[in-house]
Structure 1
Amino acid sequence: MLTGLIKVTRVTREMKLIKVLWRNSTVVYKNGVQCISLKHKSTTTSNVAEVAVFSRDGDSGMTITDAGDTKPKDDMIFNALGATDELSSYIGLAREFACDSKVEHPYVDKLKRVQMILFDLNHAISKSMPGKTKSFENKHTKDLEEWILEYANQLPPPEDYIIPGGGKACASLHVARTVCRRAERSITTLVREGALDKEAQTYLNRLSDFLLTVSRIAAKCDQRTENIYIPRADVMDEK
């Protein structure tokens, strides 16, 4: 009987604590992206599981920019935000594949630096307004150009058509490169309308070149052969 009362008391305490956590939990929304706030608390009797809180503010298909404007979620600003966020995510994945390699990939820290700059770019996009352009440092583009030259000197001249592959690190960098091209296209209108510095577009253009270059470095580090496109006519001739 006593054991049963103790169990009921514990359950009651946990339910009360969960209710308190539910009331006190906060939700942070940034750039129309829903973030989940988790709180961890413990008592002498048990550890309370994570409590996730969400909002339905964006269910209507509308969301608010950092500039304070309410826009549909398929607005060019959110397309640009999504593309740059996706780009950073794929670069992060490529970085993890490189770190998992048996040999050191020399560009890993540079990828992390690029992710930091993309975070700043994302912030600039979220606050973009026509006619109110904020500067984007051209130093970032110059850094990419220096890195490209540094690694290009370690590689043979590129073939005309490289097919993505050559190991997980290499292939993931090719994915990041294609997403980078889309991110560049997504901000073109913002640049044209004077809402975003043209240097940001230049940076993404150069970044895709950098990602292609380090994808070749990744294949070299992992001792993988680059996949080269061979026209069908040439294949038939070889046979």
Structure 2
Amino acid sequence: MDLARNVWRRSLFVYKSSLQASLRNGSTGNTSNVAEVAVFSRDGDSGLAITDAGDTKPKDDLVFNALGATDELSSYIGLAREFACDGKVEHPYVDKLKRVQMILFDLSHAISKSIPGKTKPFENKHTKDLEEWILEYSNQLPPPEDYIIPGGGKACASLHVARTICRRAERSVTPLVRDGALDREAQTYLNRLSDFLLTISRIAAKCDERTENIYIPRAEVTEQK
């Protein structure tokens, strides 16, 4: 969290400084510079970055791989929320997805502060919430087929993508858990989150009145012909 805030503040400072300079130039008749303001910093150009724990690590370090996967997951969940809001029927899980994004932000903070042998607790309440939500929505659905092929509308398909990214995020935190740098509950949460995303992808298809795509073995297709 501190790392994210520092990057934001630094970028904001660069933006404000550049904007002020452009506006000063604009006051003398040169207004074109206002449109040329760039928001960037050169930190990290060397391929290194600093974690919240104060360690300088290469950008392909386990910590940054986990941070990147978690950030990507949150971003795609945000896209899935937008697709859900575009539907003709209200999708009941939208607020829950926003809650998940908040927890993923907390998880990113924990990852960035992770130090081997100094594990900080991650609340199991979050996992229990997911389990309750899964049961709630599962009761509204028919039993799942063995193999569901991603599809069934934009909201449904985007949740399937989020589910696969969640699996990658889970894999990326596993080494940190194994090294004692991250609470195992964080890994459990991501494992349960992928189940939740699968469940609500089915809810999304139902809300949008789309048919789920089910894998049919080739032998069965031939027999039907």
The residue correspondences of 1:102-117 to structure 2 (distance < 5 A) are 102-117=88-103
Helix, strand or coil at the partner of 1:60: coil
Q: Residue 217 of structure 2: which of 231, 235, 238 is its match? A: 231
The answer to whether the aligner puts 1:30 opposite 2:10 as a matched pair is no
AA paired with 1:30? A
User: Residues 32 and 63 of structure 1 are in contact (CA less than 8 Å); yes or no, is this contact kept in structure 2?
Assistant: no
The answer to whether the aligner puts 1:72 opposite 2:72 as a matched pair is no
Equivalences, count: 212
Helix, strand or coil at the partner of 1:71: strand
Shift of 1:53: 3.8
Shift of 1:51: 2.8
TM-score w.r.t. the length of structure 1 is: 0.83
Distance 1:62 1:108, change over 3 A: same
Shift of 1:50: 7.1
Identity fraction in percent: 82
The residue correspondences of 1:72-221 to structure 2 (distance < 5 A) are 72-221=58-207
Helix, strand or coil at the partner of 2:110: helix
State the alpha-carbon separation in 2 of the partners of residues 105 and 58 from structure 1. 40
Aligned partner of 2:41 in structure 1 is 55
Distance 1:171 1:32, change over 3 A: farther
Gaps of 5+ in 2: none
State the alpha-carbon separation in 2 of the partners of residues 142 and 212 from structure 1. 17
Give the aligned CA root-mean-square deviation in angstroms.
Answer: 2.3
User: Residues 31 and 64 of structure 1 are in contact (CA less than 8 Å); yes or no, is this contact kept in structure 2?
Assistant: no
Helix, strand or coil at the partner of 1:63: strand
Distance 1:32 1:125, change over 3 A: farther
State the alpha-carbon separation in 2 of the partners of residues 31 and 163 from structure 1. 39
Deviation readout 1:97-129 (Å, 9 max, x if unpaired): 000111100000000000000000000000000
Deviation readout 1:6-55 (Å, 9 max, x if unpaired): xxxxxxxxxxxxxxxxxxxxxx9639978743336679967944733422
Helix, strand or coil at the partner of 1:171: helix
Shift of 1:191: 0.4
Larger relative contact order (CA 8 Å, sep ≥ 6)? 2
AA paired with 1:106? P
Distance 1:76 1:69, change over 3 A: same
Larger radius of gyration: 1
State the alpha-carbon separation in 2 of the partners of residues 94 and 36 from structure 1. 28
Gaps of 5+ in 1: 1-27
Higher share of residues assigned helix = 2
User: Residues 31 and 126 of structure 1 are in contact (CA less than 8 Å); yes or no, is this contact kept in structure 2?
Assistant: no
